[in-house]
Structure 1
Amino acid sequence: MAWSPQPLVSTAWLADHLTAPDLRIIDASWYMPADNRDVRAEYDKCHIPGARFFDIDEISDAQSDLPHMAPSVEKFVSRMRALGIGDGHRVVVYDSAGIFSAARVWWLFNHFGKTDVSVLDGGLPAWIAERRDTLDFPPTLRDRHFTARRNADLVRDVTQVAASAKLRDVQIVDARAPARFEGTAPEPREGLRSGHIPGARNLFFKDLLTADGKMKDKDGLRAAFAAAGVDLDRPIVTSCGSGVTAAIINLALVVLGHSNHALYDGSWAEWGAYKDLKVATGPA
């Protein structure tokens, strides 16, 4: 499977390449509705120079009842062209949490065949902590030609995941907090059962990150996967609440050189809503 050759870049790297003509920067900040944060207003007030705002909820499949499912190729191409992102551009994605929703947009680019994309390690908090410049006005955008082709190997649907849960031919790794995974905490979305996909392993996405929101080093990542009971020599499908933090696991896997993995786009928003799908509770 083809993934980004350089999944992460540092703030120092971005600062050195900030004015490169072939670089495009994306602010992919997103939060749960319950957080009551206006990420677009936050972007308008403060963003890395040159950054375009990527609306995860809008650049999605509007025909689906599930939250921010991957859009069609045509819609993704249209939105990227409008953002001035084209063929030959190097893309760096960041968010305002450190590493959170940026991983989802990084995964989307990979899913649509553009692998020259990286996540900014530490995101906007790291950039601001280093007293680097920010702006409060957007860049001038010019429509660019953008080519995309969907890579089906990087995504799984509910039928495929149900088969894997039964056959145990791949490892399902859930990025949600342990209480949600074990079913002792309610889901933030109404109408969903509590628990996890039978046979899944729980690797809370925060266990892959340092206290300041950066990706752990390779030894730390390997230790986190081992602690969760995940075998890095086997194929993996990632999951979470709605396909956002699952991508952080995919990002960590690429950092480790693991390529045989995909993301369950519907995640628990889909599985937890289907009454005929089995649900497990308690620790893995």
Structure 2
Amino acid sequence: MDALVTTEWLANELGANDLRVVDATYFGSVPGSPDGDPAANFEKAHIPGAVFFDIAEIADLNSPLPTMLPPPEKFASRMQSLGLGDGSRIVLYDNSHYHTSARAWWMLRVFGAHDVAILNGGFAKWQAEGRPVESGKPQHRHRHFTVWADDSQVRTLDQMKANVDSGAEQVLDARSGPRFTGEEPDPRPATHAGHIPGSKNLPYTRLFNEDGTWKTGDALNAEFESAGIDLSKPLVTTCGSGITAAVLLFGAHLLGNDGALYDGSWSEWGADMSTPKAMGAA
């Protein structure tokens, strides 16, 4: 299964024994994020057989930071309850401006699922094409999901501090240009403006075509090149809270670069008095 699948492909695969379809819509945690209840929206309409991946709940709820990775045991338990198990082919989609299926894609890979794809164009494209939907809460049986975590795909605050000095890994920020440069204040209280010193900026929205589908090939590569990123070298992505950083990570994955994600992102770095902050352009 390719990492990026089409609506036509998915329509033909629906009902396969090993296929699991997952709605990972999330509307964000920062002040000013779109209003809405993604779980309620899911119950109203979703791709037939899909289950709902609650990004807000499948997180470390003991952390003061938003949507941080949960403990491996919690993640495995949640996946089992959704009927996602070892050997499943998992196709993710969303209906969010933040393209949050990328966050679920990264989480699943961190916790040991390897055959994971994103639906190109998401639920909006599926609906626009008049494809079938269903409502309600789907019934499914629990499946075994092995407890596992690959920390090589995750970066911590201490690792990011060390990288400021070493420059061993390229750091790419998915936030908007004005937030990256510090022209706009950060929307979170008590959070400094600016960016991690030495990081580059590629707003996540630039990875998509006007119809919401992913750019691919040369068009996608051009966006990374325009941000000053060499995808033949190590990459770490960041953003406000680790959500849209996953968009950049998935885009890099489509081009053959399997980088890491700074999970605390700017909500951690920007609020920490011990971290250096840079202002202005990259």
| TM-score normalized by the length of structure 1 | 0.96
Q: Which runs of 5+ in 1 are unaligned?
A: none
Contact 2:98–2:244 under 8 Å retained in 1? no
Q: Secondary structure at the match of 1:31?
A: coil
Q: Which range moved further: 90-99 or 59-68?
A: 90-99
Deviation at 1:98, TM superposition (A): 6.9
Larger deviation, residues 34-43 vs 63-72: 34-43
| One-letter amino acid of the counterpart of residue 17, structure 1 | E
| Backbone CA RMSD of aligned residues | 1.2
Q: Deviations over 1:1-57 (max 9, x none)?
A: xxxx73211111110101111111110000124322111111111111111111101
Is the aligned partner of 1:112 residue 2:108?
no
Q: Which amino acid aligns with 2:268?
A: E
Using the alignment, how far apart are the partners of 2:65 and 2:131 within structure 1?
Answer: 38
The number of aligned residues is: 279
| 1:31 aligned partner | 27
**Contact 2:27 2:97 (8 Å CA) reproduced:** no
Read off the aligned partner of 2:28 and give its amino acid letter: M
Structure 2 Cα separation of the partners of residues 116 and 188 of structure 1: 36
User: Does 2:132 match 1:136?
Assistant: no
Aligned match of 2:58: 59
Residue 233 of structure 1 aligns to a residue whose secondary structure is coil
Match of 2:4 in 1: 8
Q: How does 1:69-80 map to 2 (within 5 A)?
A: 69-80=68-79
Deviation per residue, 1:226-280 (Å, 9 max, x gap):
1101111210100000001000111111111113x10000000100010111111
Q: Confirm or deny: 8 A CA contact 2:27 2:98 kept in the other structure.
A: no
SS of 2:92's partner is strand
Of residues 261, 275, 280, the one that matches 1:277 is 275
Report how far residue 220 of structure 1 moved.
0.8
Equivalent position amino acid for 2:70 in 1 = P
Give the superposition deviation at 1:141.
2.0
The answer as to whether partners of 2:98 and 2:243 remain within 8 angstroms in 1 is no
Correspondence 1:159-198 to 2 at 5 A = 159-198=158-197
Identity %: 46
After TM superposition, give the deviation of residue 99 of structure 1 in Å.
6.8
Match of 2:224 in 1: 225
Instruction: Indicate conservation of the 8 Å contact 1:11/1:121, yes or no.
Output: yes
Query: Are 2:208 and 2:215, in contact at CA under 8 Å, matched by a contact in 1?
Result: yes
Residue 172 of structure 1: SS of its match in structure 2? Answer: strand
What is the letter of the counterpart of residue 264 of structure 1? Y
